[in-house]
Amino acid sequence: MIESEIETKEQLLAKGRELAVSIETQTQRCTRALENREEYRRLETLQTKWQAFEQEAIAAGINIEKEFGDKLATLRPHVLKVSPVQRRTLNAYQLHVIGSRQPERNQEKPKDPNMPLENWP
């Protein structure tokens, strides 16, 4: 039983390392072809697969930070922060992509600023 768990973890880690190499390669392709939308779609697909792998690995008891520590910033999808000044210089497609990567926010704000923190959205 213990040997099969170790083998499963090793197989899962091998899958993760392979996926990490694919993401790093695709990231480099995206930096070389900044306007190529297809490359960015492939990167987003790989990063979505990484999120699924990460959940599976955590469920199996693998320490992701220990195994992939310094690479996690590029492996995980990230939210782009764009200032209003930068927003004026972007084209419509770039604004669409950035908008699709933003987390959904609850637009309702509490009316009472003295409300306890537990009740804030």
Kindly state whether residue 6 falls inside one of the protein's structural domains: yes
Kindly state whether residue 56 falls inside one of the protein's structural domains: yes
Residue 111 pLDDT more than 70? no
Kindly state whether residue 116 falls inside one of the protein's structural domains: no
pLDDT tier for residue 14 given thresholds of 50, 70 and 90: very high
Report if pTM > 0.75: no
Identify which of 48, 68, 62 has the alpha carbon closest to the alpha carbon of residue 11: 62
Kindly state whether residue 113 falls inside one of the protein's structural domains: no
- Domain residue limits at 21: 2-75
Report residue 52 CA to chain centroid gap.
Answer: 10
What is the Cβ-side half-sphere exposure of residue 6, based on CA atoms within 13 angstroms? 3
Tens-place pLDDT, residues 29-64: 988 888 888 988 999 899 999 999 999 998 888 888
Q: Is residue 40 within a helix (H) or strand (E), and if so which, with residue range?
A: helix 37-59
Kindly state whether residue 90 falls inside one of the protein's structural domains: no
Q: Can you give the pLDDT at residue 34?
A: 80
Kindly state whether residue 82 falls inside one of the protein's structural domains: no
Residue 84 pLDDT more than 70? yes
Most confident range (mean pLDDT) of 4-8, 26-30, 72-76, 113-117 is 26-30
Residue pair 7/14 in contact (Cβ under 8 Å)? The answer is no
Identify which of 20, 23, 101, 26 has the alpha carbon closest to the alpha carbon of residue 57: 20
Q: Can you give the pLDDT at residue 76?
A: 82
For range 70-88, the mean pLDDT: 76
Max Cα-Cα span within the chain: 59
Domain count for the chain, please give it: 1
Q: Can you give the pLDDT at residue 68?
A: 86
pLDDT tier for residue 19 given thresholds of 50, 70 and 90: very high
